[in-house]
A and B are shown apart, each in its own frame.
Chain A
Amino acid sequence: MLELNGVSVNYGAVQALTDVSLTVEQGEIVALIGANGAGKSTTLWTISGLVRPRRGRIIFDGQDIARMSPNRIVALGIGHVPEGRRVFATMSVQENLEMGAYVTKGGRKMREAMRRVFDRFPRLEERKNQLAGTLSGGEQQMLAIGRALMSRPKLLLMDEPSMGLAPMLVREIFAIIRELNAQGTTILLVEQNAHMALSIAQRGYVLETGSITLTGPAVELAGNPEVRRAYLGA
């Protein structure tokens, strides 16, 4: 479904990604783990078209999207839950969701999408007229996920959805990710919480200073001594 092939990204003189290749198959949850500054967010930004790769191809559903604008990439079916949630704090919950459906043509489709999000997250419906900035951290994360779902993505990119949340909420968010996947959304999950991420993913990649150093089935990675030492605190 998604294939990165030899992708390199620079920020000025800094090389953030070097020759990154990875694939995500339809229906999978793929975990991308790595330390601070490894380039995980950069990878997701590049897929979403926010950052232009210097080299390499990004194929989504048979099309090279490496030079497309972000709005076209969303329209093709890639949703993004950004790191740190980044809800529009001064806009209401409902307006935030409408922004997620920006590429959707027609009010009826938008209302249907919002209905589905509200059914999944009843708390968002209760607070639909509240400013997003006044929501709790967990609610903001649900809003960020709901907002990304508004465009009905086939592939969802999630950047550290568990960041800064209490353990109970982390479990709730992971349960939601699993449920979304069971209902047909393919997921590329970036996490520092490698343990949780590998427990729900089928496959994983380890990113170190901009390069993929390890890959394999999630259970294998979770058992790999190097991964255990570096990312699982064992």
Chain B
Amino acid sequence: MDLQTLLQQMINGITLGSTYALIALGYTMVYGIIKLINFAHGDVYMLGAFVGLAVVLMGANIWLAIFVAMLACLCVAVTIERVAYRPLRSSIRLAPLISSIGVSIFLQTLMTLLKGPQPVGFPQVVTNTIYTVGLVKISTVQIIILVVAAVLMIGLQLVIKRTKMGKAMRATSEDLRTASLMGINVNAVISFTFALGAVMAAAGGVLVGMYFNSVFPLMGVMAGLKAFCAAVVGGIGSVPGAVLGGLFLGVAEVLGVAAGLGSYRDAIAFGLLILVLLFRPSGLLGQPEQRKV
């Protein structure tokens, strides 16, 4: 692979990886707070893509589509938490996990019934100019993905670091019981966390729909699994870890394909997951789990 190809694949990999990162954030934040692997998260991302598509088909631009998809997924995710997870919070840890698998299957089936199983094309919403910067080419769509992902992730970081609710999220994810003893409304924090994760995933769904020109009811399965791998590779519970893991997986996948491993495309993420966990069981940026007494 010459330098030019390498650089080009890096750009493509970072673009793909930033969409993984957007989804991975929701897994990692929810896990950080209630130790739940939310299997329905990939399907919230799929819903985001469908909502964005519907808005675009009504003639709106991509920005409005992303915004409406974010709002819709926010409502859906908060409702899912309220209906399917919160009533199970004090039961065994496996119960909400199984419930999330149920929600996942429900959403996939619902959308298959409504929209059919076949991929739907995404109309060309932006004139996709290709710019040449030095040795590499980058398209308008790629620029949009990178900019939206960067803005959202920086925004998320500011929310978590600076706002009262963000600080409460960190306190709750460190120690839920003590957070509630301090007067933090833990239920509100959990709803807020689901909302944040859903907003990120919804944007990811619309962006991916636009990038690959395809939206379908099972699109959240593989993307969700890979994003989950990204969250674990980065260190589940760690927000910077999810971003790093997403980018890492995206670049690895694209480079792997460029190196002729195209038929193993989807296996690359899982292979990396195993490799990283062998050497760093808590992930790249994860804290080794502390036993609470």
- Residues of chain A at the chain B interface (Cβ within 8 Å): 48-50, 69-71, 74-75, 80, 82, 84, 86, 88-91, 95, 98-100, 102-103, 147-148, 151
Contact = CB atoms under 8 A, between A and B. Distances in A.
Nearest to A153: B183
A80 B164 contact: no
Contacts of A91: 167, 170-171, 174
Interface in B163-206: 164, 167-168, 170-171, 174-175, 177-187
B174 A151 contact: no
Given A75-B183, A102-B184, A50 B168 contact: no
B58 interface: no
A100 B167 contact: no
A74 B174 contact: no
A80 B181 contact: yes
Contacts of B175: 86, 88
7 contacts: A70-B181, A70-B186, A86-B175, A98-B167, A99-B168, A100-B183, A102-B184
B181 A102 contact: no
A50 B171 contact: no
Interface string B226-252: 000000000000000000000000000
B278 interface: no
A90 B181 contact: no
B167 A90 contact: no
A82 B178 contact: yes
Interface of B: 164, 167-168, 170-171, 174-175, 177-187, 293
Most A CB within 10 A of own CB, among B171, B178, B183 = B183
B164 A98 contact: yes
B182 A147 contact: yes
Contacts of A99: 167-168, 171, 179, 182, 184
B167 A103 contact: no
Given A91-B167, A99-B171, A86 B178 contact: yes
Nearest to A151: B183
B171 A70 contact: no
A45 to B, nearest CB: 8
A100 B180 contact: no
Nearest to A107: B164
Given A70-B183, A75-B183, A84-B293, A102 B168 contact: yes
A99 B164 CA distance: 8
Contacts of A69: 180, 185, 187
Contact of A90 (B174, B180, B184): B174
Contacts of A50: 177, 180-181
Nearest to A132: B174
Most B CB within 10 A of own CB, among A70, A74, A102 = A102
A90 B287 CA distance: 11
A102 B174 contact: no
Contacts of B184: 71, 99, 102
Given A74-B182, A88-B170, 6 more contacts: A69-B180, A90-B174, A95-B167, A95-B170, A102-B183, A102-B184
Contacts of A86: 175, 178
Q: 3 tightest A-B contacts by CB?
A: A74-B183, A103-B183, A70-B180
Contacts of A89: 174
A48 B178 CA distance: 11
Nearest to A51: B177
Given A91-B167, A99-B171, A71 B180 contact: yes
Nearest to B179: A99
A163 B197 CA distance: 39
Nearest to B293: A84
B82 to A, nearest CB: 16
A191 to B, nearest CB: 18
A50 B178 CA distance: 9
A49 B183 CA distance: 10
Nearest to A133: B174
Contacts of B179: 88, 99
Contacts of A71: 180, 183-186
Contacts of A75: 183
A84 B290 CA distance: 15
A82 to B, nearest CB: 6
Nearest to B287: A90
Contacts of B170: 88, 90-91, 95
A48 B183 CA distance: 9
Nearest to A103: B183
A91 to B, nearest CB: 6
A91 B166 CA distance: 12
Contacts of A74: 181-183
